[in-house]
């Protein structure tokens, strides 16, 4: 064995003996405690674009029901195309209804003939009565027959009008100009009053239906001084909602913003106990026909949040569909607080908290994902 190797071993043994001779006392190295940034929450005023999932539909969405039953003999439209108001969509076999008209016309002729007969009889009896040839009873009987004949004519005329109306119903026309949908019935099918044959959607204007939470509804009521009217919420002194609230935008499925701004037309005054939301509606012009019924989109409403608590987005811990923030207690430990009313700022840097935390609370703003309930940070 070479000499350098022996010297190395000896040095190692000497070092070990020195460590043992120190009576077992070893220097303790503690890891430095991680530092967490915090923020004391104070109410602020923030401008925020609130976004709500919406579904579009035409300003008039009309289901077309036949008014008479029968076999379809003609179909005059292609689903997905534009039809004009008054355009023929279906023709129902008119044979039965034409016969009903002829029968009603004949009954009216009989009733008119009977009316003429009773009129002549009554006038004749009047002359005889004046000569004291007939009694009061005979005269009054002829008068009653005459009045009854007049009623029969009116009744026969009404039956003829009904028959002619039903014959007209054999031609089913479009109630408005718009896109037509529905291809369930074809020539030879039986249609009835119980089932619609198609739907015509007038998209000259388009409605976007969406819902807002109870908290959001209260915020809108307070900011714009809305009151409850006959048709839901309305502005001060009965003014329209669209006159007092800002214009709204529509964000389409591809991420683009629809070129025409819209107006809020309905804000429901009732909050559903099942969903906790109120139904709302916005209306958009559609001169170029870009919008269609059934589109999924997002309504964007510019909104001022008063007395809102804002925190950096790094303060949030996402728990599925909920947000949790760590609040610092007086003893330096933290507790997780789940907040339900949380909205991201439009620039993506902050969260606005409307429920769950209070002014004066201190929350951890960075490294929250490394914490757990009861962890001590100071």
CATH code that applies to domain 66-93+170-195: 2.40.50.100
Quick check: do 38-45+307-370 and 49-59+205-306 share a fold? no
Q: pLDDT tens for residues 65-114?
A: 999 999 999 999 999 899 999 999 999 999 999 999 999 999 999 999 99
State the pLDDT at residue 33.
Answer: 52
Closest C-alpha among 196, 253, 217 to residue 67? 196
State the pLDDT at residue 23.
Answer: 44
Question: How far apart, in whole angstroms, are the C-alpha atoms of residue 316 and residue 328?
Answer: 14
Helix (H, G, I), strand (E, B) or coil at 195: coil
Please list the ranges in the chain whose pLDDT falls under 70.
1-34, 231
Contact 224, 244 (CB under 8 A): yes
State the pLDDT at residue 220.
Answer: 82
- Write down the domain spans for the chain: 38-45+307-370, 49-59+205-306, 66-93+170-195, 95-168
Contacts 24+ apart (CB under 8 A), 73-78: 73/187, 74/187, 75/185, 75/186, 75/187, 77/180, 77/198
Question: How far apart, in whole angstroms, are the C-alpha atoms of residue 166 and residue 97?
Answer: 7
Fold type of domain 49-59+205-306: Elongation Factor Tu (Ef-tu); domain 3 (2.40.30)
Q: pLDDT tens for residues 247-305?
A: 999 999 999 999 999 999 998 888 888 888 999 999 999 998 899 888 999 999 887 77
Fold type of domain 38-45+307-370: 2.40.420
State the pLDDT at residue 34.
Answer: 60
* CATH class of the domain at 95-168: mainly alpha
Question: How far apart, in whole angstroms, are the C-alpha atoms of residue 220 and residue 266?
Answer: 13
Write the CB contacts of 314 (distance below 8 Å, at least 6 apart in sequence): 365, 366, 368
Locus of tokens 């709204």: 248
């Amino acid at each position: 064995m070479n000499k350098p190797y022996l010297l190395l071993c000896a040095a190692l043994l000497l070092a070990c003996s020195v460590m043992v001779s120190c009576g077992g006392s070893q220097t303790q190295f503690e890891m430095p405690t991680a530092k967490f940034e915090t923020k004391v929450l104070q109410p602020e005023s923030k401008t925020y674009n609130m976004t709500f999932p919406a579904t579009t539909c035409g300003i008039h969405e009309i289901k077309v029901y036949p008014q008479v039953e029968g076999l379809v003999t003609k179909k005059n439209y292609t689903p997905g195309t534009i039809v004009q108001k008054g355009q023929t969509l279906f023709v129902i076999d008119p044979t039965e209804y034409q016969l009903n008209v002829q029968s009603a016309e004949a009954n009216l002729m009989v009733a008119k003939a009977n009316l003429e007969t009773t009129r002549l009889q009554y006038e004749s009896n009047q002359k005889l009565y004046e000569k004291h040839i007939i009694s009061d009873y005979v005269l009054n009987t002829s008068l009653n027959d005459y009045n009854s004949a007049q009623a029969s004519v009116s009744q026969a005329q009404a039956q003829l009008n009904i028959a002619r109306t039903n014959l007209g119903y054999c031609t089913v026309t479009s109630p408005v100009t718009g896109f037509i949908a529905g291809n369930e019935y074809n020539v030879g099918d039986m249609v009835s009053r119980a089932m619609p044959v198609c739907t015509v959607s007038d998209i000259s204007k388009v409605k976007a239906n969406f819902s807002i939470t109870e908290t959001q509804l209260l915020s809108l009521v307070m900011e714009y001084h809305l009151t409850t009217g006959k048709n839901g919420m309305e502005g001060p002194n009965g003014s329209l909602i669209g006159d007092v609230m800002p214009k709204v935008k529509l964000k389409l499925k591809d991420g683009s913003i629809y070129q025409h701004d819209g107006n809020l037309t309905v804000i429901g005054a009732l909050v559903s106990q099942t969903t906790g939301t109120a139904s709302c509606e916005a209306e958009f012009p559609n001169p170029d026909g870009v919008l269609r019924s059934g589109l999924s989109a997002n309504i964007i409403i510019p909104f001022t949040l008063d007395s809102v608590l804002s925190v950096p987005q790094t303060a949030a811990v996402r728990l599925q569909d909920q947000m949790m923030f760590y609040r610092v207690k007086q003893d330096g430990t933290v507790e997780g607080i789940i907040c339900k009313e949380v909205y991201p700022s439009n620039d993506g840097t902050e969260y606005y908290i409307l429920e769950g935390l209070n002014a004066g609370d201190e929350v951890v703003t960075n490294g929250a994902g490394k914490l757990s309930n009861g962890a001590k940070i100071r």
